[in-house]
Structure 1
Amino acid sequence: MNNQNIDFSMVLASAVHDMKNSLGMLLNSLDELRTEHEQSLGESSRFNTLQYEAERMHNDLVQLLGIYRLGENNLSAHIEEHFVPDFLSEHMARHTPLLEGLGIDYSIEADQINGFFDADLLTGVLNNTINNAIRYTKSRIRLTASQRDGYLVIGVEDDGRGYPDSMQHTGTLSFKALDFNSGSTSLGLFFASSVASLHSEGGRQGSIKLHNGGSFGGGVFEIWLP
C-alpha cells in the first residue's frame, strides 16, 4: 500500500452509516412480514428475537454515528417545540408489534405539555432505552413525561430487577468512566448523557438519571432537559 493518509475513522463512519440504513430497511421488512403473517409470526419467539436483535444493532449504529460526530465536534442539537404526548406515542407505536409479540404490557403517562428538544437525537435515546427495557422487564413498560423543577423529564420504567448499584447514576457521564465489559449498555448511556448535555438554557444543562423504583419497582431511566 502506498503512503496515502487514510482517515480510518471516516471510513468506519461511512461503513456504519451504510449498515444503519440497511438495518433500517430490514426492520421495515420485518414489520411488514409480521403484519402479513400475524397469525403465524405474532407469537413466534424466533421472529421476536430476530426483530429485537436487529433493533438493538440499529440503535447501536445510530449511537456510534452520534458519538463519532460528537468527537468531530459537528454534533449539535436542533431545538424545536414538540407536543410531548404525541412524541411519546409515536415512539411507543414503533415498538408496539414487538411488545405485543412478547406479551409485554405498555402504557404512557404524560402531562399535556410541550417540550423543546432535538427530536432526532431524543429518538435515538428513547429507542435504545425502550429496547433495553424490553430486554430486562418481566411484563410491563411505561413511558412518562412531566415538568419538574423547570425541566422536562421523560422517563422509561419497567418491572425488571432494576439497575445494579454500579449503574445507578445522576448527572453527566464521561467516556473514560464507562465499563464496556457490560456490552452496549454503556454506549447507550454515554450517548444519552451526551444528547442531554447538548440541551442547555440559561446556564442549565440537561442530564440523565438512573435509579430503581417508579410505579413498577424496577429500573427507571430519566432524561432531564431544561
Structure 2
Amino acid sequence: MKKMDISTILASAIHESKNQVGTLLYQLQTLKETSDFQGSNKTKIVQIEESLKKLNDEWVEYLYLYRLASNGYDLHVDTFLMDEFLDDQVFALQPSAIAKNLELDYTCDPSLTGVFDERLMTAVVSTAVYNALRFAKSKISINAKKEDDFLVIAIEDDGKGFQPHQEQDDVFHEANTGLGLYFAELSAAAHTINHTSGFIKKDASTLGGASLKVYLPQPMK
C-alpha cells in the first residue's frame, strides 16, 4: 500500500472545512435577511457570523501556510495604491471590530504604492487584526509607509502590548500567537528582491499597545 502524505490529507480536509464554513456563512446571511432579530438575539447572530468569518480566514491562512512551507505557493506580485488596499482591509474587518465595540482605522500617504502579493498580505493583515481584537481596549490601527527600501505595513492596538517573555524565539511562534506570526513571517520572507527578503518585527505601538510590522522589500526606482 502506498504511503499517504498526511500533510496533503490535512490540507484537503482544511479546504473542505473552509467550504463548509462558507456555506454556513451564506445560510446565516440568508437567515439575517429573512428574519427580524432584535436586541440580544441580533447581537448573538452578529457574534456567530464574525466567529465564522474569523474561522474561514484562519482556514485560508492554514492553506497558504501549507503551500508556503512546502514551496507550493507561487507569488503573484503587483503594484497597489496603499490607500485603496488598506481601505479594503478596514471595510472587510470593520464588522468584527464593531461587534467588539472597537474602533478600526488606517493611515497612509494617499500617494503611497507598494509591490507585493495581495492575497498573502490580505491574509496577514486580517490575521494580525483578529489577534489584536483579542487584546485591544478601544482601538486598532493599520498604517503603511516606506522605510529605506522596504514597504512597512503595521497593525497596532492599544492593549497591554507584547510581554517581555514573548520576545523569546520559542514563544514567538507559539503560545497566544498560534501560527499567526509564523504565517506572517513566512509570507514576508516569500517576498524577495535582489537577495533581500522581507521580515516581521514586533514592537511597541504608538497607541500604547502592541505593533506587528511587516517589512516587504521594494524594487528600486
Range 81-90 or range 93-102, more displaced? 93-102
Q: Per-residue deviation at 1:50?
A: 2.2
Query: Post-superposition shift, 1:7?
Result: 2.3
For 1:34-183, list aligned pairs within 5 A.
40=38, 45-112=43-110, 113-168=112-167, 180=174, 182-183=175-176
- 1:206 is matched with which residue: 193, 198, 209? 198
Q: Give how far 1:41 is off.
A: 6.4
Give the conservation status (yes or no) of the 8 Å contact 1:41–1:47: no
Q: Per the alignment, in what secondary structure is the counterpart of residue 44 of structure 2? A: helix
Letter in 2 for 1:224: Y
Find the residue that maps to 2:38 and give its secondary structure. Answer: helix
Task: Tell me the distance in 2 between the aligned counterparts of 1:225 and 1:108.
Answer: 18
Deviations 1:120-177 (CA, angstroms, capped at 9, x unpaired): 01111011111111111011011101111121111111111111123348xxx8xx77
Rounded to whole Å, the distance in 2 between the matches of 1:159 and 1:43 is: 29
Which of the residues 186, 198, 203 maps onto 1:194? 186
What secondary structure, in the 3-state scheme, does the structure 1 residue paired with 2:153 have? strand
Partner SS state of residue 136, structure 1: coil
**2:135, 2:9 → 1: CA distance?**
34
Return closer, same or farther for 1:68/1:94 CA change in 2, 3 Å cut-off. same
Structure 2 vs 1, CA of residues 13 and 48 (structure 1 numbering), >3 Å: closer, same or farther? Answer: same
For residues 220 and 34 of structure 1, the distance between their equivalents in structure 2, rounded to whole angstroms, comes to 35
Alpha carbons 1:104, 1:141 under 8 Å: kept: yes
Instruction: After TM superposition, give the deviation of residue 194 of structure 1 in Å.
Output: 0.3
1:13/1:68 contact within 8 Å kept: yes
How many residue pairs match? The answer is: 216
State how far apart, in whole Å, the 1-side matches of 2:40 and 2:98 are: 8
Q: After alignment, is 28-37 or 128-137 more displaced?
A: 28-37
Residue type matched to 1:8 in 2?
I
The structural deviation recorded for 1:38 is: 8.7
Assess if the C-alpha contact under 8 Å between 2:188 and 2:216 holds in 1.
yes
Quick check: 1:220 aligned with 2:219?
no
Query: Share of identical aligned residues, percent?
Result: 29
How does 1:8-19 map onto structure 2 within 5 Å?
8-19=6-17
Q: TM-score, normalised by structure 2?
A: 0.85
Query: How far 1:21 sits from its partner (Å)?
Result: 2.4
